[in-house]
């Protein structure tokens, strides 16, 4: 009788343990957390090619934020205005309060579209981001705010034009500093006339090539890739056409 009683108690204990495990598993499966993006301080390997439907952090978002936001007096490491530092992926995600997949809940995006000049970023007198640039940030967040980069396999250095190559390049990498009523160094790069003038003086190419005697540009950001520099050279050698 004692053995039978012990067996019955053991069976009940096993059933209780199983029931507890089921409750725990159900609770775990119902929990939802924002994605975690590990950052080991190293750039991710590039994908084989740039997908036109994907926004890449290192190719498009980081240069834009470095130029427009991570500057002295604003959101570089030294200034860290309001505790926000926008110099690398991990700091952009954490201090910019980026919620992957949720641009409307991300502070980084909300300040770009704020209609209040006192809250809008970049602040006056710096020029606001263009509609295309804001859309790019939104799409990057919608796509998961990934720490990604790519290498173009179709760099066009033969049919270089101002509208298709040079102007977008300046907008994404330079106009954050070189725009508004008080552009850095007194150099504006917001129009064909100002960009062509900088090219004619040798300042544009000297700066992007990090040549001796010129301020290295983009400031505080990686040097432009070989494709972009070659496109600038080609455009200048062709006579800086407004095409």
What pLDDT digit, counting tens, does each position of 88-127 carry? 999 999 999 999 999 999 999 999 999 887 888 888 877 7
- Count of alpha carbons within 13 Å of 149, Cβ hemisphere only? 12
Please tell me the predicted confidence (pLDDT) of residue 17.
45
Q: Estimate the crossing angle of helix 192-200 against helix 226-237, to 10 degrees.
A: 90
Whole-number Å distance between alpha carbons of 242 and 188? 17
In sequence order, the 6+-apart residues with CB closer than 8 A to the CB of 120 are: 111, 112, 114, 128
Residues in the chain: 243
Residue 20 has pLDDT above 60, yes or no: no
What six digits make up the tokens of 72?
């002295």
pLDDT tens digits for 32-44? 333 334 344 445 5
Whole-number Å distance between alpha carbons of 80 and 86? 8
Task: Please compute Rg for the chain using Cα positions.
Answer: 26
Please tell me the predicted confidence (pLDDT) of residue 43.
53
Lowest mean pLDDT among 41-45, 106-110, 128-132, 143-147: 41-45
Count other Cβ atoms within 10 Å, centred on residue 197: 16
What six digits make up the tokens of 61?
């978002």
Contact predicate 156/209, CB 8 Å: no
pLDDT tens digits for 149-202? 887 767 888 899 999 999 989 988 887 778 777 787 888 888 999 999 999 999
pTM above threshold 0.85: no
Whole-number Å distance between alpha carbons of 102 and 145? 9
What six digits make up the tokens of 87?
């110099």
pLDDT tens digits for 196-224? 999 999 999 999 999 999 988 887 677 88
Please tell me the predicted confidence (pLDDT) of residue 45.
58
Please tell me the predicted confidence (pLDDT) of residue 182.
76
């Amino acid at each position: 009788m004692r053995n039978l009683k012990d067996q019955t108690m053991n069976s009940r204990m096993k059933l209780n343990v199983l029931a507890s495990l089921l409750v725990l598993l159900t609770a775990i499966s119902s929990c939802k957390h924002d994605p975690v993006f590990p950052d080991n301080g190293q750039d991710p390997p590039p994908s084989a090619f740039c997908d036109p439907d994907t926004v890449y952090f290192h190719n498009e978002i980081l240069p834009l934020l470095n130029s427009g936001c991570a500057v002295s007096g604003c959101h570089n490491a030294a200034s860290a205005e309001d505790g926000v530092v926008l110099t690398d992926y991990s700091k952009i995600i954490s201090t910019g309060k980026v919620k992957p997949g949720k641009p409307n809940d991300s502070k980084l995006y909300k300040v770009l579209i704020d209609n209040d000049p006192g809250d809008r970023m970049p602040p006056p007198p710096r020029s606001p981001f263009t509609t295309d640039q804001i859309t790019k940030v939104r799409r990057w967040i919608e796509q998961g705010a990934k720490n990604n980069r790519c290498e173009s396999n179709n760099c066009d250095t033969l049919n270089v034009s101002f509208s298709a190559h040079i102007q977008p390049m300046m907008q994404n990498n330079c106009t954050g500093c070189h725009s508004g009523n008080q552009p850095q160094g007194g150099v504006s790069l917001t129009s064909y006339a100002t960009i062509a003038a900088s090219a004619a003086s040798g300042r544009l190419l000297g700066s992007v090539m990090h040549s001796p005697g010129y301020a290295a540009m983009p400031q505080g950001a990686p040097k432009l890739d070989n494709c972009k520099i070659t496109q600038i050279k080609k455009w200048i050698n062709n006579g800086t056409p407004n095409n």
